[in-house]
Amino acid sequence: MAPAAAAAPSTPLGPEVIKTEQAPGGYAVKFRYQAPQDVTAVHVYGDWTYTKPDSVVCNDCGDGRLPWDWQPGDIAGTPWRTIAMEQGSDGVWETTVPLPAGTFRYAFTHNCVSPTAGGCTLHHDPANPWEIFPQYPGAPGAVRSTIWVPSSAEFPTYDTDYQKPTAPHQAGTLESRRYASPGSTNPPGVHDMVVYTPNGYDPNRATPYPTLYLSHGGGDHSTAWTMQGVAHYILENAIRDGVAQQMVIVSTDFNGLPGGNQGYANHLRDIVFPYVEQNYNVSTRSVDRAFGGLSMGGNRATTILYDNTELFGYHAIWSWPAAAANAAQVERMKTVPGGIHIGTGLQDRLGNTAQLSIARVAALKAEGVDITEYNVDGVHTWHVWRPLVNYYLRTMAFRTTTTGIEVETVPAGKSGNVRVIATATVGTVSTNAASPTGKVDFYAGDIHLGSAPVRHGVAQFRKAVNGALLDAPVVAQYRGDKLFNESWSAAPDAG
Those residues with Cβ within 8 angstroms of residue 279's Cβ, 6 or more apart along the chain or in another chain: 177
Q: Is-contact 81 50, C-beta < 8 A? A: no
Q: Is-contact 431 289, C-beta < 8 A? A: no
109 DSSP β-pair partners? 43
Report how many helices (DSSP H) and strands (DSSP E) the chain contains, helices first: 8, 25
Give me the pLDDT at residue 3, please.
43
The sign of the CA dihedral 180, 185, 188, 193 is negative
Q: What are phi and psi of 240, to 5 degrees?
A: -65, -30
Give me the pLDDT at residue 471, please.
85
Give me the pLDDT at residue 231, please.
98
How many other β-carbons are positioned within 10 Å of the β-carbon of residue 207?
14
CA distance 297 to 124: 25
CA distance 459 to 489: 12
Q: Is-contact 347 53, C-beta < 8 A? A: yes
SS3 assignment, position 226: helix
Q: H or E segment at 425?
A: strand 417-428
Give me the pLDDT at residue 422, please.
95
Instruction: Write 119-128 long-range contacts (CB < 8 A, 24+).
Output: 122/45, 125/14, 125/15, 125/31, 125/33, 126/13, 127/12, 127/13, 127/14, 127/15, 127/32, 127/33, 128/14, 128/15
Q: 329-338: buried (b, 16+ CB within 10 Å) or exposed (e) per residue?
A: bbebbeebeb
SS3 assignment, position 143: coil
Mean pLDDT in order along the chain per 10 residues (495 residues): 50 95 96 97 97 97 96 96 96 98 97 95 96 89 92 97 96 97 95 98 98 97 97 98 98 97 98 98 98 98 98 98 97 98 98 97 98 98 98 98 95 82 97 96 94 97 88 94 97 56
Nearest to 387 by CA among 58, 66, 75: 75
Q: What is the pLDDT of residues 32-79, one digit of tens each?
A: 999 999 999 999 999 999 999 999 999 999 999 999 999 999 999 999
Give me the pLDDT at residue 69, please.
97
Q: Residue 419: exposed, middle, or buried by beta-carbon count in 10 A (0-12, 13-18, 19+)?
A: middle
Those residues with Cβ within 8 angstroms of residue 379's Cβ, 6 or more apart along the chain or in another chain: 56, 59, 62, 75, 76, 77, 78, 345, 347, 348, 349, 350
Nearest to 144 by CA among 214, 227, 76: 227
CA distance 353 to 347: 9
Nearest to 163 by CA among 211, 225, 71, 107: 225
Q: Is-contact 232 148, C-beta < 8 A? A: no
Beta-strand runs (E) in 232-319: 248-251, 289-294, 314-318
Sequential DSSP letters for 32-71: EE---TT---EEEEES-EEE-GGG--STT-S--B-GGG--
